[in-house]
């Protein structure tokens, strides 16, 4: 395996770490009577999906219709599109569903329920609808006790379009301790349980009650009356997850391979060929102070005190600590940068150079909408 | 022309604004005895390049070898790769040059000069080298009066590899007024003029003396003893350029077309289907307070007080001012978001839906290294 043969910058994916991360969540959830519906939006790779999912009938989650199309084409049959739907996307949803896939869609308003209902009548079709529940006030969803919830569920249920409830504790990314994450996991579960109870009192059954975010999936427990957990970044992990305490930096399976392309001796800076185009502009958690990513040697060991302190399009700057000077890093030296946010860093690339014991593979990824 | 038929999110490019922006810099520079070497890294599109360059022999600039390859394939013959070179990239540089292209490379250290010299001897070839001069202490380059400059130039010149000097006033992005930008343009020119004079005193001639950034290109004057100006974002413009006063927001040719996909009535938020994946994570100038971009109606007119205030991967949140409520924006409403940083926003997409009078075209872009 020679990293030296790779054109830099590029993405590395360590298969062993990936498989360990996947196994960890599987093992955790196997203690509970709950399923897993992995989110495939982070790595957007069919090769990765095959390791995250037991088989093609296993449930999965996507964030774009492009992902839905690509994973449907690869044979996956049970896909949740976990972003609120607009009317203009329904034709494409139906196209995908007509390929023999169940594509669950998401909504949180009466307006959406109406146009979905009308679309299904006009097209003489059925769609599977999930109502988004707001568990943390961070983004979208109906509050569990909002009377709108019943109104939306009724219009869907009356025409056989209602499948269940979905919530996402995006607020888990703002937690300051593992205990706060555990509390958030409880809050997430409680929100959909209340919503499901409310609907049950109206004789509307939820066959799906879905929760999830990587932190609440890994630290949550109980999962009573929850049918499935969603999580995505758990497979690769990243510095945000390490900052939350959900993993260690050595668990991160993804990194950007880069070379030193210059020195600024006066400022004691290294210049790398990985700028924001290769690393993304994501700065991770404000509390973390990792700049645009922690710097490792070519083996993947974190070099203490080194991060990418600033970036331009194709330049990364590493301000060295006083204990090191630029002569320690000859021009051409290979380094790796751990990503703040795996979803954002991976999105800047077209595929993964996969380190798999003594061999290398290349797994393509896709992008777009 | 129907924007309604487009899948959102996607990129729009207004051809008329693009051509006006291109013409503006051409007209400005035509007052001086200096050439223009457009930087193609922003839009990375052969179709756009054909409008920025007079013909295939016209000089251009790129930020990656992938761009060099793609533009060489499209027939462009005179390309500057304006990022410091590492030894591992020289084989690819030579491959591109062997396709009948002059590919100028950049360096700022004796170490690089040595490995380029050795490579050319081993491969019995010539490469055209530019020494990067540091005009503002922002990133890379040799200071104009650093004795290393002469040492680097001598090793290159002795083997016929030396072409000239290049500097980039990245510091122009930190200016607070047009007068500061004008002063930065003078500083940029002065730095390479001093460096060129130093080399001339050693009987080393610079056939290229290259300066540039969009702000200093548009506001600079004189350009005495400068052979060429480089600029890239001037063609599309963006909110950073508008924030610097270099253009108006209505000059911005690029925008992200998006749809309203939800309402958070309690918080008076619109939810858009353009998150950071479509807009990028670039927040532009800290002083600007545009969030992740200014929001326009579908015609492209800025809606006063509306910006994308926060983003997730596929969700953008617009916190509405008190004067508006979510009912003004039905689900499905088309909006446009002006980019903070055109290079970063464009990089999230695979092509441009080009608005060209009453017609639409699609111009692909490429990415990678």
Q: Which of residues 148-177 of A touch B (CB under 8 A)?
A: 170
Give pLDDT tens digits for A289-300.
899 999 999 999
Contact A251, A234 (CB under 8 A): no
Asked if pLDDT for residue B1 goes beyond 90, the answer is: no
Measured distance CA(B369)–CA(B366) in Å, rounded: 10
Cα distances (angstroms) measured from residue B314 to each of A217, B260, B272, B279, B310:
21, 12, 8, 10, 11
Give the residue among B196, B208, B103 at the shortest CA–CA distance from B149. B196
Q: Does A112 touch chain B (CB under 8 A)?
A: yes
Asked if pLDDT for residue A45 goes beyond 90, the answer is: yes
Give the residue among B236, B231, B260, B212 at the shortest CA–CA distance from B349. B236
Picking from A87, A262, A280, the nearest residue to B332 by CB comes out as A87
The ipTM estimated for the assembled molecules is: 0.97
Measured distance CA(A23)–CA(A18) in Å, rounded: 9
What's the topology of domain A3-10+253-364?
Lyase, Ornithine Decarboxylase; Chain A, domain 1 (2.40.37)
Cα distances (angstroms) measured from residue B307 to each of B9, B73, B247, B293, B336:
16, 40, 19, 6, 10
Measured distance CA(B166)–CA(B178) in Å, rounded: 23
A203: left (phi over 0), alpha (psi -120 to 50) or beta: left
Measured distance CA(A275)–CA(A124) in Å, rounded: 51
Q: Does A312 touch chain B (CB under 8 A)?
A: yes
Give pLDDT tens digits for A342-362.
999 999 999 999 999 889 999
Question: Can you give the pLDDT at residue A111?
Answer: 97
| DSSP assignment letter at B295 | E
Picking from B282, B312, B350, the nearest residue to A281 by CB comes out as B282
| DSSP assignment letter at B235 | G
Asked if pLDDT for residue A250 goes beyond 80, the answer is: yes
Q: Which of residues 76-105 of B touch A (CB under 8 A)?
A: 83-89, 92
A124/chain B closest Cα distance in angstroms: 22
Contact A224, A190 (CB under 8 A): no
Mean pLDDT rounded to a whole number for chain A: 97
Measured distance CA(B83)–CA(B104) in Å, rounded: 10
- The predicted model gives A237-255 an average pLDDT of 97
- The predicted model gives B199-214 an average pLDDT of 97
- The predicted model gives A150-178 an average pLDDT of 97
B158/chain A closest Cα distance in angstroms: 22
Query: β-pairing, B269-272 with A269-272?
Result: unpaired
Cα distances (angstroms) measured from residue B101 to each of B93, B128, B235, B306, B312:
10, 11, 24, 47, 43
3-state helix, strand, coil in chain A (%, to 5): 35, 25, 40
Question: Can you give the pLDDT at residue A206?
Answer: 97
Picking from B262, B276, B332, the nearest residue to A108 by CB comes out as B262
Give the residue among B347, B255, B9, B122 at the shortest CA–CA distance from A314. B347
Question: Can you give the pLDDT at residue A1?
Answer: 60
Flag if A139 and B317 touch (Cβ within 8 Å): yes
Contacts of residue B145 in chain A, CB cutoff 8 Å? none
What's the topology of domain A32-235?
TIM Barrel (3.20.20)
Percent of chain A with pLDDT over 90: 98
Contacts of residue A367 in chain B, CB cutoff 8 Å? 350
Asked if pLDDT for residue A15 goes beyond 80, the answer is: yes
Picking from B83, B115, B271, the nearest residue to A314 by CB comes out as B83
Give the residue among A130, A135, A156 at the shortest CA–CA distance from A145. A135
Flag if A271 and B140 touch (Cβ within 8 Å): yes
Strand order in the sheet with B162-167: B35-36, B228-229, B208-211, B162-167, B128-133, B102-107, B78-84, B59-62
A154/chain B closest Cα distance in angstroms: 19
Place of tokens 């607009």: A86
**Residue A342: helix, strand or coil by DSSP?**
helix
Question: Can you give the pLDDT at residue A358?
Answer: 84
- The predicted model gives A18-27 an average pLDDT of 98
Comparing A162-176, A191-205, A283-297, B292-306, the range with the smallest average pLDDT is A283-297
DSSP per-residue letters across B143-177: -TT-THHHHHHHHHHTTT-EEEEEE--GGGGG-SS
Measured distance CA(A139)–CA(A31) in Å, rounded: 30
Q: Does A258 touch chain B (CB under 8 A)?
A: no
Question: Can you give the pLDDT at residue A8?
Answer: 98
Asked if pLDDT for residue B321 goes beyond 70, the answer is: yes
A357/chain B closest Cα distance in angstroms: 25
Contacts of residue A134 in chain B, CB cutoff 8 Å? 264
Contact A141, A167 (CB under 8 A): yes
Mean pLDDT rounded to a whole number for chain B: 97
Measured distance CA(A290)–CA(A268) in Å, rounded: 18
Flag if A281 and B277 touch (Cβ within 8 Å): no
Q: Which of residues 276-305 of B touch A (CB under 8 A)?
A: 276-278, 280-283
- β-bridge partners, B142: B133
Tell how far CA B152 is from the center of its chain.
28
Give pLDDT tens digits for B71-126.
999 999 999 999 999 999 999 999 999 999 999 999 999 999 999 999 999 999 99
Flag if B267 and A10 touch (Cβ within 8 Å): no
Report CA torsion sign: A226, A228, A231, A235. Answer: positive
Contact B317, B270 (CB under 8 A): yes
Under the banding of pLDDT at 50, 70 and 90, the label for residue A268 is very high
A217: left (phi over 0), alpha (psi -120 to 50) or beta: alpha
Cβ-based neighbours of B363, under 8 Å, separated by 6 or more: B13, B45, B47, B48, B351, B352, B354
Question: Can you give the pLDDT at residue A286?
Answer: 80
Measured distance CA(A57)–CA(A81) in Å, rounded: 16
Cα distances (angstroms) measured from residue A302 to each of A145, A248, A259, A335:
47, 11, 16, 10
Flag if A85 and B261 touch (Cβ within 8 Å): yes
**Residue B230: helix, strand or coil by DSSP?**
coil
- The predicted model gives A47-63 an average pLDDT of 98
Helices and strands (DSSP H and E) totals, chain B? 11, 18
Picking from A83, A134, A277, the nearest residue to B273 by CB comes out as A83
Flag if A331 and B109 touch (Cβ within 8 Å): yes
Picking from B63, B281, B349, the nearest residue to A314 by CB comes out as B63
For chain B, the structural domain boundaries read 3-10+253-364, 32-235
Contact B35, B57 (CB under 8 A): no
Query: β-pairing, B254-264 with B10-14?
Result: antiparallel
- The predicted model gives B25-42 an average pLDDT of 98
DSSP per-residue letters across A19-72: HHHHHHHHHHHTTTT-EE--B-TTT--HHHHHHHSSSTTSEEEESSHHHHHHHH
Alpha helices in chain B (DSSP H): 15-29, 46-52, 65-73, 90-97, 110-123, 148-157, 178-200, 214-219, 239-244, 276-279, 342-346
Contacts of residue A318 in chain B, CB cutoff 8 Å? none
Task: Kindly provide the b/e burial profile for residues B6-31, where b requires at least 16 CB atoms within 10 angstroms of the residue's own CB.
Answer: bbbbbbbbbbebbeebbebbeebbee
Task: Kindly provide the b/e burial profile for residues B206-226, where b requires at least 16 CB atoms within 10 angstroms of the residue's own CB.
Answer: bebbbbbbbbbbbbbeebeeb
Measured distance CA(A260)–CA(B303) in Å, rounded: 44
DSSP per-residue letters across B14-40: EHHHHHHHHHHHHHHHTTSS-EE--B-
């Amino acid at each position: 395996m020679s990293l030296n043969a790779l054109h830099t910058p590029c993405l590395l994916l360590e298969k062993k770490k990936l498989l360990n991360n996947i196994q960890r969540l599987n093992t955790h959830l196997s203690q509970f009577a709950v399923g897993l519906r992995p989110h495939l939006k982070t790595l957007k790779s069919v090769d990765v999906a095959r390791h995250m999912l037991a088989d093609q009938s296993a449930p999965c989650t996507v964030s774009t219709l492009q992902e839905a199309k690509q994973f449907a084409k690869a044979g996956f049959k049970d896909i949740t599109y976990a972003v609120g739907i607009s009317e203009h996307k329904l034709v494409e949803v139906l196209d995908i569903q007509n390929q023999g896939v169940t594509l669950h869609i998401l909504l949180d308003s009466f307006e959406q329920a109406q146009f979905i209902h009308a679309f299904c009548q006009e097209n003489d079709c059925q769609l599977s609808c999930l109502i988004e529940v707001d568990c943390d006030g961070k983004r979208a969803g109906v509050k569990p006790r909002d009377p709108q919830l019943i109104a939306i569920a009724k219009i869907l249920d009356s025409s056989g379009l209602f499948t269940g409830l979905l919530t996402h504790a995006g607020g888990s990314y703002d937690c300051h301790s593992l205990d706060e994450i555990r509390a958030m996991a409880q809050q997430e579960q409680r929100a959909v349980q209340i919503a499901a109870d409310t609907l049950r009192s109206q004789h509307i059954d939820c066959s799906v009650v879905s929760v999830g975010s990587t932190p609440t999936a890994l630290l949550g427990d109980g999962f009573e009356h929850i049918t499935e957990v969603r999580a995505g970044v758990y497979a690769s992990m990243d510095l945000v997850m390490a900052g939350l305490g959900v993993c260690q930096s050595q668990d991160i399976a993804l990194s950007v391979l880069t070379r030193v392309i210059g020195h600024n001796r006066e400022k004691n800076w290294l210049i790398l060929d990985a700028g924001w185009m290769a690393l993304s502009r994501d700065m991770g958690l404000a509390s973390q102070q990792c700049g645009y990513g922690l710097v490792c040697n070519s083996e993947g060991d974190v070099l203490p005190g080194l991060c990418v302190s600033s970036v331009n399009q194709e330049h990364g700057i590493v301000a060295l600590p006083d204990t090191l000077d630029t002569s320690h890093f000859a021009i051409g030296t290979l380094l790796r940068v751990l990503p703040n946010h795996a979803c954002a860093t991976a999105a800047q690339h077209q595929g993964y150079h996969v380190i798999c014991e003594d061999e290398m593979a290349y797994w393509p990824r896709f992008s777009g909408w």
